[in-house]
């Protein structure tokens, strides 16, 4: 087992090389993943750490049967929020409380996170042929944008909020966005692999000491005989310029 070769989709700084490493070198990372998954179950996560982690809330379709061009709605801190398919957002009971999101396309999906008078809107925009994602920080009191930033790709996952950062995922993309200024602490793109359908969407983000793990579960490619795969992007927060991307069978 010590000399068994294990495929590694990528390793390095802003590269997508196809390498292989020995099981001996990979084993500590796999053990870390197992420990992190156990932590995710809630049995070993300290209460203080759970309080530090927050999640943006997905707005629901007002008419679920009408998936396209539908209004999105949600409720945060006893305030109702409505986003039309053209990107016009309304909240509360004052008709003047409205804001136009920075898009000329249709908004098909949105996650909202509110703290005080500040609202973060993470949304997917589309022309029904192509799609991308964006995030805007909005001052609800002044009804003005503080900043807006692009999120590469569609298949927007649930934004994880930790401290003053948002951890973001889309197809072939992971990133850590500073919510104070709208700048990325790090971002990794072009992870999607058409041959094995890797990193089409991300399901879970785990935090373990200085490491952040972005997990992507997907169905196998036609050439694979096994069940679902779990592909992982591991970022060392102390060295954010580097990443390890591993594909392995569950």
Q: What confidence score (pLDDT) does residue 52 get?
A: 86
Q: How far apart are CA 79 and CA 76, in angstroms?
A: 5
Q: How far apart are CA 203 and CA 210, in angstroms?
A: 20
Q: How far apart are CA 239 and CA 235, in angstroms?
A: 8
pTM tops 0.85, yes or no = no
Q: What confidence score (pLDDT) does residue 160 get?
A: 98
Q: What confidence score (pLDDT) does residue 185 get?
A: 94
User: Among 8, 39, 28, 55, which residue's Cα sits nearest to residue 206?
Assistant: 39
No. of H helices and E strands in the chain?
2, 22
Q: What confidence score (pLDDT) does residue 212 get?
A: 94
SS (H, E, C) 180-235: CCCEEEEEECCCCECCCCECCCCCEEEEECCEEEEEEEECCCCCCCCCCEEEEEEE
Q: What confidence score (pLDDT) does residue 226 get?
A: 58
73: which strand partners? 60, 82
Q: What confidence score (pLDDT) does residue 14 get?
A: 33
Q: How far apart are CA 109 and CA 187, in angstroms?
A: 22
Mean pLDDT by 10 residues, the chain (250 residues): 35 35 45 53 50 92 83 97 97 96 96 98 95 97 98 95 97 96 94 79 92 82 61 86 63
Q: What confidence score (pLDDT) does residue 192 get?
A: 84
């Amino acid at each position: 087992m010590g000399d068994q070769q294990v495929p590694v989709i990528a390793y390095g700084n802003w590269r997508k090389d196809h390498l292989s490493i020995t099981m001996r070198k990979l084993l500590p990372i796999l053990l870390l993943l197992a420990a992190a998954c156990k932590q995710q179950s809630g049995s070993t996560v300290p209460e203080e750490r759970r309080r530090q982690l927050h999640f943006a809330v997905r707005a629901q379709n007002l008419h679920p049967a009408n998936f396209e061009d539908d209004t999105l709605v949600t409720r945060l801190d006893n305030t109702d929020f409505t986003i039309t398919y053209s990107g016009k957002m309304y909240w509360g009971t004052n008709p003047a409380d409205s804001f136009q999101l920075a898009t000329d396309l249709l908004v098909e999906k949105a996650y909202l996170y509110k703290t005080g008078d500040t609202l973060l809107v993470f949304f997917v925009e589309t022309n029904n042929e192509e799609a991308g994602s964006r995030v805007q920080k909005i001052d609800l009191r002044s009804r003005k944008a503080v900043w807006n930033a692009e999120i590469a790709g569609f298949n927007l996952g649930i934004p994880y909020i930790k401290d003053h950062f948002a951890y973001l995922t889309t197809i072939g993309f992971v990133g850590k966005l500073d919510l104070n200024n709208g700048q990325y602490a790090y971002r990794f793109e072009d992870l999607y692999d058409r041959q094995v359908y890797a990193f089409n969407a991300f399901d879970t983000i785990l935090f373990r000491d200085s490491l952040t793990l972005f997990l992507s579960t997907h169905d196998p490619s036609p050439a694979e005989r096994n069940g679902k795969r779990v592909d992982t992007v591991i970022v060392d927060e102390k060295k954010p310029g580097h990443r390890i991307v591993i594909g392995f069978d569950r």
